[in-house]
């Protein structure tokens, strides 16, 4: 098993839910990236999703876009992020997952990127603008490098497509809980619980809910229906504001969910 599979196996044994925070690499500098990864691991994160700053992040809302702009102004590059992860990897045991778009990977060179990601100890990769029909361009070298491609499904995905996507993976399935871009939400569609339950029913791998989750109450609510949550914009906002205690509250909320 890779680190992602091991982490979810351990959660299952402990009957716990997953909490995967998203952070923007280079927001606050690469030193902050190191500090934030260590803080999140210590606070109980299951894995960490590390965003790569990009000029045209089509899936991201204002909070993450602004964080990306700050990171780009700091001169953050994909190569530097991989170098930072490689430096941290010997002392960080939880899975580290990159979230990026295809353009930075193309610019880097697919083969060179995957080789450097493997050397750095990257465990997974999320590419929101890569549909399953096009993933063959990168899937084989990822498999050879033992880097898991984390796929997304949405509220508008037919159940047959969801099943097909779920059966391709070995890490976890990212279930998008809103129609639109990332960002905090005050409420969710009434059918989101039913949607998550259907995905769990057909998926052979763990299902995590993400997009819009921003409060401890929402963490508890969403985690009741699936295997855990991904929280992005709120974590980025709280790090930017220095509210580390609020991040710990979000992580703690995932540990006390009730089973429906």
Pick the catalytic residue from 27, 41, 49, 148.
49
Catalytic status, residue 5: no
Q: Are 37 and 248 in contact (CB under 8 A)?
A: no
Of the candidates 40, 58, 70, the residue with the CA atom closest to the CA atom of residue 152: 58
Which of 27, 60, 148, 227 is flagged as catalytic? 60
Alpha carbon distance 79, 102 (integer Å): 15
What is d(CA 215, CA 105) in angstroms, rounded to the nearest whole number? 33
Residue 49 falls in the annotated catalytic set: yes
Per-residue tokens: 50: 């590390």
Other C-beta atoms within 10 Å of 148: how many?
A: 24
- Helix (H, G, I), strand (E, B), or coil: what is residue 217? helix
Range 52-80 burial, b when 16+ CB lie within 10 A, else e: bbbeebebbbebbbbbbebbeebebbbee
Query: Which stretch of DSSP H or E encloses residue 75?
Result: none
238-to-89, 104, 137 alpha-carbon distances in Å:
24, 27, 36
Please list the active-site residues: 49, 60
């Amino acid at each position: 098993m890779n680190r992602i599979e091991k982490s979810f196996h351990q959660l299952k044994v402990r009957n716990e839910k997953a909490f995967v925070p998203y952070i923007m690499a280079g927001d606050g500098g690469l030193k902050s990236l190191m500090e934030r990864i260590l803080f999140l691991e210590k606070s109980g994160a299951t894995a960490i999703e590390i965003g790569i700053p990009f000029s045209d992040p089509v899936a991201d809302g204002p909070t993450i876009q602004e964080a990306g702009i700050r990171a780009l102004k700091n001169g953050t590059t994909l190569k530097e992020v991989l170098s930072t992860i490689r430096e941290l990897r010997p002392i960080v045991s939880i899975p580290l997952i990159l979230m990026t778009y295809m353009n930075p990977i193309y610019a880097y060179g697919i083969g060179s990127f995957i080789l450097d990601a493997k050397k750095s100890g990257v465990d997974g990769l999320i590419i929101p603008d890569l549909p399953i029909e096009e993933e063959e361009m990168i899937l084989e070298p990822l498999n050879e490098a033992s880097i898991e491609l984390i796929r997304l499904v949405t509220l508008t995905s037919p159940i047959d497509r969801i099943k097909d996507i779920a059966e391709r993976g070995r890490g976890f399935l990212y279930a998008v809980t809103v129609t639109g871009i990332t960002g905090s939400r005050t409420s969710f569609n009434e059918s989101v619980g039913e949607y998550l339950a259907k995905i769990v029913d057909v998926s052979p791998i763990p299902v995590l809910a993400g997009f819009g989750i921003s409060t401890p109450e929402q963490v508890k609510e969403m985690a009741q229906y699936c295997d855990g949550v991904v929280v992005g914009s709120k974590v980025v906002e709280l790090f930017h504001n220095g509210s580390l205690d609020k991040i710990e509250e979000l992580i703690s909320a995932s540990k006390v969910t009730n089973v429906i």
